[in-house]
Amino acid sequence: MFMDFTYYFHDCYVEVYVGRLKEELQVSGDENELYWSDLNQDFFDMSKYAGEGNIGHVVEQVNMIKDEILSD
């Protein structure tokens, strides 16, 4: 696990995992339609991404250490 968030007043817990796929996978979601995006987007754009900037924050944290955690 890379990081986690606990929203105590909303009874919500979020876990963030980071990794690199070694092969293409077919992924499906039961709760929501999945959306794949490249990493060159503005993840702070709240008209496109939920989370009031949280997704942008997570991506920035990953970018700071991506060479270390994604090395072969």
pLDDT beyond 80 at 32: no
39-70 pLDDT, tens digit each? 889 999 999 888 889 999 999 999 998 888 87
Give, for 3, the enclosing helix (H) or strand (E).
strand 3-7
Average pLDDT over residues 22-39: 78
What pLDDT sits at residue 4? 94
| Whole-angstrom distance, CA of residue 64 vs CA of residue 72 | 17
- The residue written with tokens 């909303």 in the block is 10
Going by pLDDT thresholds of 50, 70 and 90, the confidence category of residue 28 is: confident
